[in-house]
A = this chain, B = another copy of it.
Amino acid sequence: ERCFPPVYPLPPPSRENKVLAEDLKTPDHHVERDPRLIRLTGTHPFNVEAPLSDLYDEGFLTTKDLHYVRNHGAVPLVNDADVLDWEFSITGLVDQPTTLTLRDLIQTYEQATYPITLVCAGNRRKEQNVVRKTKGFSWGAAGVSTALWTGVALGDVLARARPTRRARYVCFDGADRLPNGFYGTSVRLSWAMDPERGMMLAHRMNGEPLSPDHGKPLRIVIPGQIGGRSVKWLKKIIVTDKPSDNWYHIYDNRVLPTTISPEESADLPETWKDERYAIYDLNTNSAVCYPAHDERVPLPAGYEGGVYKLKGYAYAGGGKRVTRLEVTLDQGKSWTLANVSYPEDLYRLAPEGEMLYGGRLDMTWRDSSFCWCFWELDLPLSLLATAGDVMVRAMDDAMMVQPRDMYWSVLGMMNNPWYRVVIHKEAHALRFEHPTQPALIPGGWMERVKKAGGNITNGFWGEKKAGESETPVAELAP
Say yes or no for A405: interface residue by CB 8 A criterion: yes
Cβ B407 vs Cβ A405 within 8 A:
no
| Nearest B residue (CB) for A226 | B399
Which residues of B have CB within 8 Å of A422? 475
CA gap between A469 and B317 in the complex, in Å: 39
- For chain A, give the interface size range: 35 or more
Cβ B407 vs Cβ A404 within 8 A:
no
How distant is A440 from chain B, measured CB to nearest CB, in Å?
21
Say yes or no for A414: interface residue by CB 8 A criterion: yes
Stretch at the interface among A98-106, A132-140, A320-328: A320-328
How distant is A114 from chain B, measured CB to nearest CB, in Å?
16
Cβ A335 vs Cβ B463 within 8 A:
no
Interface string of A213-230 (1 = CB under 8 A from B): 000000000000000000
How distant is A324 from chain B, measured CB to nearest CB, in Å?
6
State the number of copies, please: 2
Secondary structure class of chain A's binding surface, majority of residues: loop
Cβ A465 vs Cβ B476 within 8 A:
no
Which residues of B have CB within 8 Å of A334? 259
Which residues of B have CB within 8 Å of A258? 326, 335
Say yes or no for A336: interface residue by CB 8 A criterion: yes
Interface string of A223-254 (1 = CB under 8 A from B): 00000000000000000000000000000000
Q: Could you list which residues of chain A lie within 8 angstroms of chain B, going by C-beta atoms? A: 168, 188, 190-191, 194, 196, 255, 257-259, 276-277, 279-284, 317-318, 321, 323-324, 326, 330-337, 365-367, 387-389, 395-405, 407, 413-414, 422, 424, 448-449, 452-454, 457, 459-460, 462-469, 472-478
